């Protein structure tokens, strides 16, 4: 599902449940973030060409972003690296009630950072904040760390619990030394303490990792729930809910995540080099109402467990 369609779905549930960020609602409701892995960069990076190849078969064209171009029956271009496209995405997000992007980290001038850099050049005009997900690429704690801490100072960087910069950390490649150094230079810069959220689906693994980096909360990037091409509902929403409870039962703070899709068929048909998807690891597409209901599930779970969700934020895997 492309961004514009997903945003309309999310807006409908936020509006109908009283969570639309208008007036006082913006202060009352949890914040909502959406993960961005900006691979739609075309020939700027080999990954951009690979994901275009994934969606090139005509049967997958309906899944392409709103800015895609159909070159032929079995060829498509999905290239979002332009300021005008970023502006439209920000407007769609603001309309939908999404508060911030969670950008996967990539080093400057790596190619995969292009869209994030375009966002940073003009986002402040469109009312959607951002935060960072570390662990998706190499991170120089001194050079990149200094840049990131400086970004924490800015009003468009997403904060929780007052003025604490929100930082997600995926996997185990970001070590305690890096997080400790970031906290140190962040304090020296006069910022409030970083709110570190460790991401991992397995409760035991993420509990240990969170302990090692002194994370403030735990979450996950997505839930790998699949049924060999069966229905998205109730499997994926139910498994998300199970994982939320498992994470909560560790006694840690939790940022619940909403997996809005698990149809990996394009990668099964045309494998990519950075991950492997087995032939049975997919579900059918979710319907708009199923996505809306599941976003509502996450918002209600935060309301139900205020002592375990003090950051009051929800993360969407689109």
Do residue 132 and residue 265 come from a single domain?
yes
Do residue 222 and residue 178 come from a single domain?
yes
Measuring CA to CA, which residue among 46, 41, 33, 76 is closest to residue 58? 76
Q: The tokens of 190 are what?
A: 């006069």
Question: pLDDT at position 10, please?
Answer: 54
Residue range 191-217: average pLDDT? Answer: 98
Question: pLDDT at position 150, please?
Answer: 98
What is residue 283's DSSP assignment? B
Number of folded domains in the chain? 2
Do residue 92 and residue 193 come from a single domain?
yes
Measuring CA to CA, which residue among 151, 206, 215, 204 is closest to residue 179? 215
173 — pLDDT class (breaks 50, 70, 90): confident
Name the average pLDDT for the chain.
92
Do residue 56 and residue 118 come from a single domain?
no
**pLDDT exceeds cutoff 90 at 8:** no
Domain assignment of residue 66, given as a range: 39-80
Q: Please give the C-alpha separations between residue 269 and each of 206, 229, 277, in angstroms, as whole numbers.
A: 31, 13, 10
123 — pLDDT class (breaks 50, 70, 90): low
Do residue 74 and residue 89 come from a single domain?
no
Residue labelled with tokens 């007052």: 162
Residue range 152-175: average pLDDT? Answer: 95
Do residue 13 and residue 97 come from a single domain?
yes
Do residue 69 and residue 135 come from a single domain?
no
């Amino acid at each position: 599902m492309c961004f514009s369609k997903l945003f309309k779905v999310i807006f409908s549930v936020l509006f109908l449940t009283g969570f639309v960020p208008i007036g006082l609602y913006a202060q009352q409701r949890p914040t909502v973030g959406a993960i961005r892995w900006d691979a739609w960069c075309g020939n700027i990076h080999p990954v951009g060409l690979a994901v275009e190849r994934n969606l090139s078969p005509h049967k997958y064209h309906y899944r392409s972003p709103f800015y895609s171009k159909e070159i032929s029956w079995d060829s498509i271009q999905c290239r979002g690296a332009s300021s005008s496209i970023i502006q439209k995405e920000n407007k769609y997000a603001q309309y939908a009630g999404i508060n911030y992007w969670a950008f996967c980290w990539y080093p400057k001038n790596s190619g995969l950072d292009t869209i994030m850099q375009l966002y940073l050049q003009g986002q402040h005009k469109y009312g959607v904040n951002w935060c960072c997900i570390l662990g998706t690429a190499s991170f120089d704690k001194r050079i990149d760390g200094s840049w990131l801490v400086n970004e924490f100072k800015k009003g468009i960087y997403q904060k929780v619990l007052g003025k604490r910069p929100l930082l997600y950390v995926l996997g185990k490649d970001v070590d305690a030394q890096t997080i400790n150094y970031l906290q140190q230079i962040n304090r020296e810069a006069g910022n409030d303490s970083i709110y570190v959220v460790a991401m991992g689906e397995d409760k035991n693994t993420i509990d240990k990792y969170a302990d090692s980096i002194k994370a403030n909360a735990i979450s996950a990037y997505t839930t790998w729930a699949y049924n060999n091409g069966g229905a998205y509902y109730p499997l994926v929403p139910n498994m998300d809910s199970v994982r939320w409870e498992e994470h909560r039962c560790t006694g840690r703070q939790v940022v619940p995540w909403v997996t809005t899709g698990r149809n990996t068929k394009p990668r099964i048909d045309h494998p990519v080099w950075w991950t492997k998807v087995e032939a049975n690891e997919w579900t059918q597409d979710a319907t708009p109402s199923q996505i809306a209901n599941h976003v509502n599930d996450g918002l209600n779970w935060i309301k139900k467990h205020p002592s375990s969700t003090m950051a009051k934020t929800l993360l969407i895997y689109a």
